[in-house]
Amino acid sequence: MTQAKSHTPTVLVLGAGMSGILAGIKLKEAGISTFEILEMGDSVGGTWRDNTYPGLSCDVPAHSYDYTFEPNWRWKSTYAEGPEIYAYFKHCSDKYGVTPHVRFGTRVTSVTREGELWTVLSADGVKRQAQIVINCLGVLVHPMEPDIEGLQSFAGPRFHSASWDHSVSMDGKRVGVIGTGSTATQIICALADRTARLEMYQRTAQWVCPNFDTRRPEWLRQLHRAVPKISWAAGRIQNWILESTFCQAVIGNQRMKNILLKLCLRHLAKVKDPVLREKLTPRFELGCRRLIFSDTFYDAIQKPNVSLVTEGIQRIEPQGIRTKDGQLHELDVIVTATGFHALDYTRNLVIRNEQGQSLGEVWAQGAQALRSVAVAGFPNFFMLIGPHSPIGNFSLTGISEIQMKYIMSFIDRIKSGEVKTLNPKPEAQTRYNAHLRDGFAKTQWVTGCSSWYLDKNGLPRMYPFTPNDYRREMKDPDIAEFDVTATA
């Protein structure tokens, strides 16, 4: 038997956010330096670079959100703030030597399979080729502006939460925030003490759970920095708490759901005015949409200068927002915290296979992948946080690490010369997606609400089992699930 000849594959990683940096770190760890990371922005960090709105923080505890191999950051609180997380990912990119591989200002426009290679074109006209592509473009990237009449007619500053205009002072201003999601909630808490008048425009009331955030004294931050094992252990404990409560509740554990419901109702009871409390009471089951975690929202919304507007927006006018009851709310600034074109993996990007089919066409009836990381018909094309990743019930960083380990097991086989290409078998992909469908019915996500968690068929776009199930299923990558071509 002849020994397969080892060969370092060329790899293109799309995006230098949390998952792209991770991909770079793991490729380097495997001795692969023949990779480039194509990044549209001028710095690494993805969503944590782009989102800079006041109050931005992560609702997953800090030690569950950092990489397990780089745990000892001096987080200021139980939940990290946006600028801290951005600094953390920049630090990891530099420390692990990923930054020199990043090509900044490179917006990828197409990814096309040509023969045995992927050809990647960017907006600057540069063409690159590689044997492997890893798509790390993220899931909440493209801001969604609301479809409201007169949006452009407002005379004052108006911007989306993901493109915050820091040249506009909020101090002493009359500010309208459209939306009631995690983002709007954080903005309201941050601006309540700074604005003359702050109005939150609510279409749908949301469940808000206390997050028991605590600031850390300096000595504790230093201890975490000095002793990585303490931070690592804190991360495992936080994961365990998260996975035994919230993660269980959203996938159908009624006992956990009822405990969280009690907690949320007790939190809501902090709202003294029964009329306001009624308006803030959600009409859908807890966990159907992403739960909002905030200790301070109900205090903020009850401040004398803050109001909840529930009459519905009729249109936006040069002076402010006119609600359906005919009232004009005069404003100096409008913020649209109206979310994202979530999980829109092929937005502004054409990914085409050798047969000329685009991924957008293949996914016209809903995105499907094999174990979220590979797609039948698209050989040597991998994704981090792809379709049906456990993003509704687990930390994105943890998911990326599990998925990258799985992907690296195949890249190692390519590197060792054992195989040349891997293409998921359609029947393996179909079987995997049927398995996911078995879990959907039990989840809270299908209990009757509109949400970006659901696809156009009303099916969850998330993994419907426990994080432990996911770890188990991803633990032993099975090459039999792929059609492979061997190296000549």
Q: Which residues bind ligand NAP (CB under 6 A)?
A: 57-59, 140, 146-148, 178-184, 201, 203-204, 290, 313, 337-340, 452
Residue among 99 and 183 whose Cβ is closer to ligand NAP: 183
Residue among 50 and 481 whose Cβ is closer to ligand NAP: 50
Torsion, CA 395, CA 397, CA 402, CA 407, rounded to 10: 140
* C-alpha distance across the termini of the chain, in Å: 13
* Shortest distance in whole angstroms from residue 272 CB to ligand NAP: 24
* Shortest distance in whole angstroms from residue 252 CB to ligand NAP: 20
Report residue 380 CA to chain centroid gap: 24
DSSP 382-395: EESS-TT-STTSS-
* Shortest distance in whole angstroms from residue 201 CB to ligand NAP: 6
* Shortest distance in whole angstroms from residue 335 CB to ligand NAP: 11
Q: Provide long-range contacts, Cβ within 8 A and 24+ apart, for 5-8.
A: 5/417, 5/487, 6/415, 6/416, 6/417, 7/414, 7/415, 7/417, 7/487, 8/32, 8/33, 8/34, 8/415
Residue among 385 and 422 whose Cβ is closer to ligand NAP: 385
Residue among 90 and 289 whose Cβ is closer to ligand NAP: 289
Q: Where are the alpha helices (DSSP H) in 30-139?
A: 47-50, 62-65, 82-95
Residue among 311 and 473 whose Cβ is closer to ligand NAP: 311
E-strand ranges in 115-213 read 117-122, 127-130, 132-135, 158-160, 174-178, 197-201, 208-209
* Shortest distance in whole angstroms from residue 185 CB to ligand NAP: 7
Residue among 89 and 381 whose Cβ is closer to ligand NAP: 89
Q: Which helix (DSSP H) or strand (DSSP E) does residue 307 occupy?
A: strand 306-309
* Shortest distance in whole angstroms from residue 208 CB to ligand NAP: 12
In SS3 terms, 225-285 reads as HHCHHHHHHHHHHHHHHHHHCHHHHHCCCHHHHHHHHHHHHHHHCCCCCHHHHHHCCCCCC
Residue among 160 and 371 whose Cβ is closer to ligand NAP: 160
User: Which residue's Cβ lies closest to ligand NAP?
Assistant: 181
Residue among 130 and 140 whose Cβ is closer to ligand NAP: 140
Q: Which residues have a Cβ under 8 Å from the Cβ of 189 and sit 6 or more positions away?
A: 55, 294, 296, 297, 300
* Shortest distance in whole angstroms from residue 57 CB to ligand NAP: 6
* Shortest distance in whole angstroms from residue 432 CB to ligand NAP: 24
At 177, give phi and psi (nearest 5°): -115, 120
Residue among 92 and 162 whose Cβ is closer to ligand NAP: 162
* Shortest distance in whole angstroms from residue 313 CB to ligand NAP: 6
Closest CA to 417 of 486, 320, 340: 486
Sequence letter at residue 12 = L
